[in-house]
Amino acid sequence: MAADAIAVAEEELKPSRSDEEDERAALFSSYIGLSFALFLGLLPKSSAAYVSSLQSRNRILAMKLFEAEDQLRQLRSRRKEDAKANARVTEIYAGHRTRWQQEEKRLLQRIDAADEGAASLRARIKEMERGEAELRAAVERLEKEVAERDEMLDFMARKVEGDGFSEKGVMGGDGGLDPMDHGELDREFSGVRVSGALEPVLEERFLARNGEFEGTADLFAHQNNYVKEFLMPPVDMKLWMDRSARWQDMQYDSLESTHNMKHLVARSLEIDFRRESPWKVDGESSGVSSKLKLLEQELVNLEKPGKEDPSKILSLMRKQSKRYQSLAGKIDDLCRKMRLNDPCDPTLSPEFRTQRQTEFLLEAFRLQHAASETRQKLSTLQAEATKSYLGDDLTAKDKLHTRRSLDSIRNNFKEIQRNSEIWLARIMGDLEGILARDGASRVRDYYSSPFPFGR
């Protein structure tokens, strides 16, 4: 019962509280309205003008606010565009940087490779320096050997000048021993074969070339490392060419001195045999083939001034060129035979080896005789060439061209003749040296030549 009474009392109190709140709100609003009305009533009349000015300023500020917002939007759009442009520029610079890094890596790799190459080159330079030092040592050793050989050859030359000897193709001046009778010499050299029909011509050619022999002998001695006195002296050569006095007043060494000199010559020739034999070279190495090619070209150039009227001398020059080609071919064939059939083959018997060497030497003598005939024809050809080509029917320019061509052809002919004779002389000297070294030189029993290189 009491609870019901309390509930009824609370229900009665709730409406009364809400009414009080409504009254308070109405009173407050009335107070606010009355206060505002009193404020407006108490305002001065001059303040009404400020209201319009404030309104105009409000509108101006509103316009400025609108413009500021518009500018802000534009700035934001520009910032976005600038950000995009900056992003593109950043990408471009990033690509450039990537390429720069790749280029830097490539350059670093090239630098490393260059360093490796420089290191390898330094190693090669060191190897070459070591090789150079070894070669210099070898050159010094060879110079010592050459000096020793020169001393031996000088000793031989002094022996030849002092005593004079004739053993196995080596001839000197007059000696101081007992002379031999001419008849005994004829009986001793009864096996010597001399061509009587050709000898007068050969004697004239040899005497005519007496002045040229010294230069050829010097060149031959230089190429074979002989001293000049080792060859036959020019004074004794004239005596050698005189058949009537060839064996008169000829003196020889005693048996003992000749035996000692024989071993000395054999030892010297054994040292010289270490060099490469001249028959192991071909026409290109001897210089004959190249001179023949130059000669052919000069003959072609010589035809140009005289194309309208071919001269007889030109055909003679071509025949002379063919003679030299044939001679060079025969010498080359001889060298080829000697290379195929080595005259120093140790597997052959001494008799067969000596026979083979002698056959090669006789063939070289025949080729030397052919070379002398070719030289004789060359002298005749040179005398006719100047008369035939330097006539009055040519212009000054053609004469100059012809004179130059003739000089070049003449020099080429001389060089070919000289190289061929030296080539043959070296082959003959090498073969005779082999025979003398083996103690089996019997060239005098097969052939006797008045030429200096035949000895």
Interval 406-436: pLDDT, tens: 788 888 888 888 888 888 888 888 888 777 7
Burial bucket for residue 147 (CB in 10 Å: 0-12, 13-18, 19+): exposed
Its pTM stands at 0.36
Q: Domain ends where: 126, 154, 182? A: 154
201/338 same-domain check: yes
381/449 same-domain check: yes
144/226 same-domain check: no
* The pLDDT of residue 132: 93
* The pLDDT of residue 218: 54
Cα separation, 204 vs 76, whole angstroms:
122
φ/ψ region of 225 (left if φ > 0, alpha if ψ in -120 to 50, else beta) reads left
108/211 same-domain check: no
Mean pLDDT computed over every residue of the chain = 69
Q: Is residue 75 a part of any domain in this protein? A: no
Cα separation, 451 vs 237, whole angstroms:
9
Q: Is residue 127 a part of any domain in this protein? A: yes
297/371 same-domain check: yes
* The pLDDT of residue 83: 93
Domain count, the chain: 2
Cα separation, 327 vs 301, whole angstroms:
24
* The pLDDT of residue 14: 58
CB 433 within 8 A of CB 330: no
* The pLDDT of residue 263: 43
Element (H, E) at 171: strand 170-171
* The pLDDT of residue 182: 40
Please give the structure tokens belonging to residue 285: 């190495």
* The pLDDT of residue 431: 81
Cα separation, 200 vs 203, whole angstroms:
5
What are 285-298's pLDDT values in tens digits? 667 777 888 888 87
Q: Is residue 207 a part of any domain in this protein? A: yes
CB 357 within 8 A of CB 334: no
- Among residues 378, 260, 371, 407, which one has the least CA distance to residue 320? 378
How does pLDDT run along the chain (455 residues), one tens digit per residue? 555 656 655 665 555 677 788 888 888 888 888 887 887 777 766 666 777 787 888 899 999 999 999 999 999 999 999 999 999 999 999 999 999 999 999 999 999 999 999 999 999 999 999 999 999 999 999 988 888 877 777 777 776 665 543 333 333 333 333 444 444 434 433 333 333 333 444 444 444 444 444 454 454 445 444 444 444 444 444 443 444 443 344 444 443 444 444 444 444 444 443 445 665 665 566 677 778 888 888 777 777 554 444 567 778 888 888 888 888 888 888 888 887 777 777 777 777 777 877 888 888 888 888 888 888 888 888 777 666 655 555 667 777 777 787 788 888 888 888 888 888 888 888 888 777 776 544 444 444 444 433 33
Phi then psi for residue 251, to 5 deg, are: -120, 150
92/227 same-domain check: no
> What domain range is 376 assigned to?
197-233+278-454
Q: Is residue 113 a part of any domain in this protein? A: yes
Q: Is residue 364 a part of any domain in this protein? A: yes
Please give the structure tokens belonging to residue 195: 């061509």
* The pLDDT of residue 269: 40
Q: Is residue 250 a part of any domain in this protein? A: no
* The pLDDT of residue 98: 93
CB 271 within 8 A of CB 149: yes
401/325 same-domain check: yes
